Amino acid sequence: MNGPRRSRTARGGLRAGLLLLSALMALLLALPALSGALGLANPALAGEASSAASEVVGNASAATATPAPGAPKTTLADYPRIRGVNSRVLVWLVAQLHLWFAAFVLAVPIFVFIIEAIGMKTRDKRYDEMAYEFIKVSITAYSLTAILGGLLLFSLLVFYPQLTAYLTRVFKESMFYYALLFFIESAALYLYYYGWHWLQGPFAKWVHLTIGLVLNAAGTTLMFLANAWVTFMMSPAGVDSAGAYLGDPWAAIHNYLWNPINLHRFIANIAYGGSIVGAYAAFRFLTATRAEDKAHYDWMGYTANFIAIAALLPLPFAGYYLAAEIYAYSQQMGITLMGGIFAWLFIIQAVLIGTLFLSANYYLWCGMGRSEGAARYNRFIKYIVIVLVGAFLVWFTPHTLVLTNEELKALGGPYHTYLGPLGIMPAKNTAVNIMILFTALSFLIYRRANRVPTVSWAARGNAIQVALYGAGILNIFFLGIYHGYFTNTVYKVASSIPQVMTTLIVIAASLVIDAFIYRRAREIAPLRWGRIPDRAQYALFLLAIAFTWLMGLMGYIRSGIRQHWHVVGIMRDNSADAITPTLGFAANVVSAGTILFMALVIFVFWLSELGARKVQPAGYWQE
């Protein structure tokens, strides 16, 4: 009796779910049409609006036409103060906390979607369970993201009302769709999470995966929209020189730095999400008492670290592209960024990025202990350490040194004859490409730890891989040294692209060759999940903390290069805080934010396991 009824209920639920999903999809598909109707995406209408606005500005004296208002010219009185509250620091911290959580909750569904799809393809339930656990962590963080988003909005309204009003005037359409998309994202996320165990089975699983796709599409679009508001403040478009909105929403969104930020944030979010989930797995690993739990969280930590590394590898290139675009847009912003006052923060950034590479590699090497077969490769690790640390030292060597007077005299100037050339980008690009290549090499060695190849051409395949690496490294050095130091700046900047391509080609080709060499490989010693030292888990924590700190620091720099402008060249910041704080103060604020965020993350981790705890309150309830 019970079975058919449950099955009918399930079918009914499925129908309801499908209906809701169809509605969501329809809404999503209807967005372009809706936006077209409102003139958001219709170039013709937008053009009309634009020319109309220009006309209005052009005929400002005409009695019938109202001139489009320019950006507000504020005075100190336009910035309300609340006793005991530093409005800039408050907005700074809240915005940063919102961004950290948002990056995490946007990234997790991306790789959950991929892991779920892998589980569907392989029919390995462990993937499905792990994907579910990933999304479980992010769902608690989701409400915190929304709360912090609300707090940010209210803080902006209270402390920066003129700026908020101006941005709202320019971005009214995208802000409206943002709210709508947020609704879709929330609906999809809750359906995705709560429907996980309900939507199981051949067809239902596809439905579930589709909800995941909708969730990711909505989340990523949300981020792109918010990015447009931020990049508009750096490289305004769609307004005239006085800041008057010309009526074309797409022009304002598609400003000069929008796509570079979109790309950079998309990749960085995945790396960041991976690192935070890795920290969660490490937390659970360290607190687990049963061997099977340790094994599960070890596997989860490994997967999370893999995701973080996979996204970390192309990240420096995306960052370089963004910095180059900032420079191309404004020499002033570009020099402030990397040659001027913020250059010293870039040294800290370099140290943190190096820390990411070192901790991710250390985790992989420690993980080789899962199999006895890895002992064969242990002797190679010290050479990888030498290369990684050597490249890391080049990576953070500053061009202008911090010198005592005595040192200044001994060197005969602020530059070091031999170390000075390591302070500019060609050396940095070379170093980071080498670090990436050797991180990939660590991964290749890890993959081989428990297996021996059975194909007859294994030795030749190996030789090809060694030759590929050798040729790649030579090419990277040639490009870095010759084009970096013996040609002009055009080639210097341009040579970074073939360097990147060399790195990517070597990694991809080596992985493909490796996959063929180790097809039907013989396992010589099994991988024992859970057999990993605790210190490897601390490497995962370090990864998450370094990522968080790095994002805070670079977020401040990105925002800080606007200096005394709310919107560069259009709307001046006339508040009491329209100064660039000292580097120490900025670093302290970012550090305080990092500690606050990590405390909240630990709270989220604790909450996510709270649901499984049960207590029998003896004598409390009536029997």
Partner 1 sequence: MMGRLLSRIPALLRAALVVVGIYLAATAIFSGLLGQPIPASLMTMYMFFVIVGVFMAFTFTEEGARAMAAPIRALVENPALRPVRNIVFLLVPLAAGAFTYTKMLPSLEAPVELRTIHPAPPSTFKAYGKRYDLLTLENPFRKYEKEDPERFRALVAEGGKIYIRNCQFCHGDKLNGRGPFAPALNPVPLNFQDVGTIAQLQESYLFWRIATGGPGLPEEAAPWISSMPVWQNFLKEDEIWKVILFLYDYTGHRPRAWEK
Do the strands 522-523 and 451-452 form a parallel or antiparallel pair, or are they unpaired?
Answer: antiparallel
Cβ-based burial of 505 (10 A; exposed 0-12, middle 13-18, buried ≥19): middle
* Interacting positions 85-114 with partner 1 (CB under 8 A): none
Task: Report if residue 47 touches partner 1, rule: CB under 8 A.
Answer: no
Q: Which stretch binds partner 1 (CB under 8 A): 57-65, 128-136, 185-193, 398-406?
A: 398-406
Cα separation, 357 vs 130, in Å, equals 25
Note the helical H segments in 160-201: 161-170, 172-194
Exactly one of 17, 238, 373, 420 binds partner 1 (CB under 8 A); which one? 420
**Do the Cβ atoms of 56 and 65 come closer than 8 Å?**
yes
Residues 165-183 as b/e (b if ≥16 CB within 10 A, e otherwise) read ebbebbbebbeebbebbbe
Map the footprint of partner 1 across residues 292-331, applying CB under 8 A.
328, 330-331
- Using the minimum distance from each CB to partner 1, give the nearer residue, 67 or 498: 498
Contact region with partner 1 (CB under 8 A), list: 123-131, 230-238, 482-490, 612-620:
482-490
Q: For residues 90 and 385, which CB has a smaller minimum distance to partner 1 in the complex?
A: 385
Give residues 421-480 in contact with partner 1 (rule: CB under 8 A): 421, 423-424
Among positions 358-387, residues that touch partner 1 (CB under 8 A) are: 358, 361-362, 365-366, 368-369, 378, 381-382, 385-386
**333 near partner 1, judged by CB under 8 A:** yes
DSSP characters over 117-128: HHHHHHT-HHHH
State which of residues 201, 407, 457, 524 lies at the interface with partner 1 (CB under 8 A).
407
140-148, 205-213, 414-422, 585-593 -> range binding partner 1 (CB under 8 A): 414-422
Q: Report the residue number, 18 or 366, with the smaller CB distance to partner 1.
A: 366
Q: Which stretch binds partner 1 (CB under 8 A): 71-79, 99-107, 416-424, 587-595?
A: 416-424
Q: How far is the CB of 265 from partner 1 (least distance, A)?
A: 24
CA dist 119 and 196 (Å) reads 13
Rg (CA), the chain: 27
Task: Say how many C-beta atoms besides its own lie within 10 A of residue 144's C-beta.
Answer: 22
- Any long-range contacts for 361-366 (C-beta under 8 Å, 24+ apart)? 361/388, 361/438, 361/439, 361/442, 362/536, 362/539, 363/301, 363/305, 363/536, 363/539, 363/540, 363/543, 364/305, 364/442, 364/443, 364/446, 365/442, 365/446, 366/532, 366/533, 366/535, 366/536, 366/539
CB nearer to partner 1: pick between 486 and 620: 486
Which one of residues 160, 392, 446, 547 is an interface residue with partner 1 (CB under 8 A)? 392
Nearer to partner 1 by C-beta: 47 or 369?
369
Span between the terminal Cα atoms of the chain, in Å: 30
Cβ-count burial of 321 within 10 angstroms (0-12 exposed, 13-18 middle, 19+ buried)? middle
Give how many residues touch partner 1 by CB under 8 A: 69
Say how many CA atoms lie within 13 Å of 589 toward its Cβ.
22
The sign of the torsion formed by the CA atoms of 167, 170, 172, 175 equals negative
Q: How far apart are CA 40 and CA 249, in angstroms?
A: 6
**In the complex, minimum distance from the CB of residue 390 to partner 1, in angstroms, rounded to a whole number:** 9
Single out the residue of 98, 264, 370, 399 in contact with partner 1 (rule: CB under 8 A). Answer: 399
| Shortest distance (Å) from residue 73 CB to partner 1 | 19
332 or 462: CB nearest partner 1: 332
The single residue among 64, 417, 616, 622 that binds partner 1, judged by CB under 8 A, is 417
Is 341 one of the binding residues for partner 1 (CB under 8 A)?
Answer: yes
Site for partner 1 in 528-587 (CB under 8 A): 533, 535, 563, 569, 580, 583
Which positions from 583 to 622 touch partner 1 by CB under 8 A, shown as an x/- string? x---------------------------------------
Per-residue burial over 421-437, b = 16 or more CB atoms within 10 Å of its CB, e = otherwise: bbbbbbbbbbbbbbbbb
Q: Enumerate binding residues for partner 1 (CB under 8 A).
A: 328, 330-333, 335-336, 339-341, 343-344, 351, 354, 358, 361-362, 365-366, 368-369, 378, 381-382, 385-386, 388-389, 392-393, 396-421, 423-424, 485, 487-490, 533, 535, 563, 569, 580, 583
